[in-house]
């Protein structure tokens, strides 16, 4: 992130990246749980 971006965000860049990575990981976990659930249900039919 450039100097102008840091000014706009007005936060610690490392903290922003950490928060974005956490949100990304949460989304992947939700996707995987949904995908796994559909596989389990499909095998029961």
pLDDT at residue 45 in the model? 65
The whole-angstrom separation of Cα 31 and Cα 35 is 6
pLDDT at residue 11 in the model? 75
pLDDT at residue 19 in the model? 92
In angstroms, how far apart are the furthest CA atoms of the chain?
Answer: 56
The whole-angstrom separation of Cα 18 and Cα 34 is 24
pLDDT at residue 22 in the model? 97
The whole-angstrom separation of Cα 28 and Cα 3 is 31
Sorted by sequence, the CB contacts under 8 Å of residue 13 that are 6+ apart come out as 1, 6
DSSP assigned state of 7: H
21: containing domain:
3-44
pLDDT tens, per residue, the chain with 45 residues: 567 776 777 778 888 889 999 999 999 999 999 999 999 988 876
pLDDT at residue 33 in the model? 96
For the chain, the domain total comes to: 1
């Amino acid at each position: 992130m450039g100097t102008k971006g840091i000014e706009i965000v007005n936060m610690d860049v490392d903290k922003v990246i950490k928060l974005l990575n956490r949100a990304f990981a949460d989304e992947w976990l939700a996707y995987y749980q949904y995908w796994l659930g559909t596989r389990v249900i499909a095998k029961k039919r």
